[in-house]
Amino acid sequence: MAQPSGSTPIVRPTADATASPGSTGAISGWLVALLAVATGLSVANLYYAQPLLSTLAQVFGISAATAGVLATVTQIGYVLGMLFLVPLGDRFEKRRLAAVLLAVTSLAMAIAGAATGFPMLVLASLVSGATSVVAQILVPFAASLAPDHARGRIVGRVMAGLLTGILLSRTLSSVVADAAGWRVVYLGSAVLMAVLALALVLALPKHSPTTDLPYHHVLRSTVRLIRAHPALMRRGLYQAALFGTFSAFWSTVSFLLTGPAFRYPASGVGIFALVGAAGVVVAPLVGRWADRGRGRPLTGAALLLGAIGALVAGLGGHDIVVLGLAAILLDVAVQTALILGQHVVYQLDPSARARLNSVFIGIFFAGGALGSQLGTIVYHAQGWWAVAALGAVLPLLGLLYWMTERRADRAPAANNSLN
């Protein structure tokens, strides 16, 4: 493919870059399972606090709105990690990088578990959020190992693990907190991260860097990738719209469920979170559909489903069954768009998958952080229906943007690396 006019020079992968095993053979099922578990456990660190916000507000003597900042700060940390740490997946050996990040996550979670004040908990959560991006190093790792004809299916399976971790994290944290206290949630995660770091070092194949550019050049090339691939920003914004709705729902539903309408304990909030996990079953199916070229219409359907899910949530302010249905719809919408988006992004430039993923997921979680904060503010100012309205508007804006998509915006670019 000809180089676009005005684009930056093209640099081929370095000579020592390991060839993708996916080009010559299939990735083993047990390794896919390990990657799925690893991504799920690492990303779960972002969500342990959500069903505990009411408890943490009482423990530290702060308002519920202030406690809600914890969820936002953790996601901001994730965005920072996506922008400044994940691009290193193209610069350094991925197995070692993942282990180092998990070791730092383990330390940060231990500090959070021992926090003597809310600011200390927030700072530790910011660090753990940033280093939990190891999940987004492992997902493109899986894409690199997978054969071309099955990449969507393999990534779908790994993403099913990640999204299961997002949903089950709330259940796990609430049940553990009720049984042993909120500190054990963080300390237990610290142990899990240390064990996971060791498991990845022992089990993952070596995967050499795909570039030898200095770090600041890697960051600069990431910016150039945004300009070179319009589909990257577009897919990120679709996902940000949906994840903003998803985060607004899950950041505030604990207040609703523990409030006068339901009066659930923290463990009840966690059990409710299990309902949303039913949507995980769509991930492998969406991966197959993406492999068959059905991504664009499914993306529009996911955005519409997200808006419908938010409106259904508004109707569930006093009905747990309706509220559960909304949780399932939102989860299916987010998972569908995410897998479709990654399927597009990973085809843009195989030698820069970590950098491409850092932009895509960075935009995605920026939308989540915005949704968490706006949802908390809106809920305490206007109530549950205002959260539902906010949640419906975001994917509808994404749907309007989707309607402007041109073929050039979604066509994969040449498989080259930008300097």
pLDDT digits (tens, 9 = 90+) for 301-335: 999 999 999 999 999 999 999 999 999 999 889 98
- Residue 95, pLDDT score: 87
In a domain, residue 297? The reply is yes
In a domain, residue 416? The reply is no
pLDDT digits (tens, 9 = 90+) for 149-182: 777 778 778 877 887 787 788 888 988 998 899 9
| Cross-strand bridge partners of residue 417 | 11
Helix residue ranges, H only, 259-352: 266-276, 282-291, 295-315, 320-348
Tell me the C-alpha distance between 288 and 273, whole Å: 27
List Cβ neighbours of 120 (8 Å cut-off, separation of 6 or more): 111, 112
Question: Measured in whole angstroms, how far is the alpha carbon of residue 210 from the centre of its chain?
Answer: 24
- Residue 410, pLDDT score: 54
- Residue 283, pLDDT score: 65
Range of the domain at 81: 28-406
User: What percent of the chain shows pLDDT beyond 70?
Assistant: 89
Whether the per-residue pLDDT at 409 is higher than 80: the answer is: no
CATH number for the domain spanning 90: value is 1.20.1250.20
Tell me the C-alpha distance between 355 and 217, whole Å: 12
**For residue 88, with 0-12 CB atoms within 10 Å meaning exposed, 13-18 middle and 19 or more buried, which class applies?**
buried
Tell me the C-alpha distance between 144 and 345, whole Å: 13
In a domain, residue 11? The reply is no
In a domain, residue 186? The reply is yes
- Residue 51, pLDDT score: 82
Question: Which SS3 state, helix, strand or coil, does residue 180 take?
Answer: helix
| Strongest mean pLDDT among 47-51, 226-230, 240-244 | 240-244
**Range in 19-28, 148-157, 337-346 with the lowest mean pLDDT:** 19-28
Whether the per-residue pLDDT at 17 is higher than 50: the answer is: no
In a domain, residue 9? The reply is no
In a domain, residue 21? The reply is no
What average pLDDT does this structure show over 248-254? 89
In a domain, residue 415? The reply is no
Kindly report the average pLDDT of the chain as a whole number.
Answer: 84
Question: Which SS3 state, helix, strand or coil, does residue 142 take?
Answer: helix
Tell me the C-alpha distance between 154 and 32, whole Å: 7
**Range in 24-33, 224-233, 236-245, 253-262 with the lowest mean pLDDT:** 24-33
pLDDT band at 288 (very low <50, low <70, confident <90, very high): confident
Tell me the C-alpha distance between 101 and 43, whole Å: 12
In a domain, residue 19? The reply is no
Stated length of the chain: 419
Whether the per-residue pLDDT at 232 is higher than 50: the answer is: yes
What total number of domains does the chain contain? 1
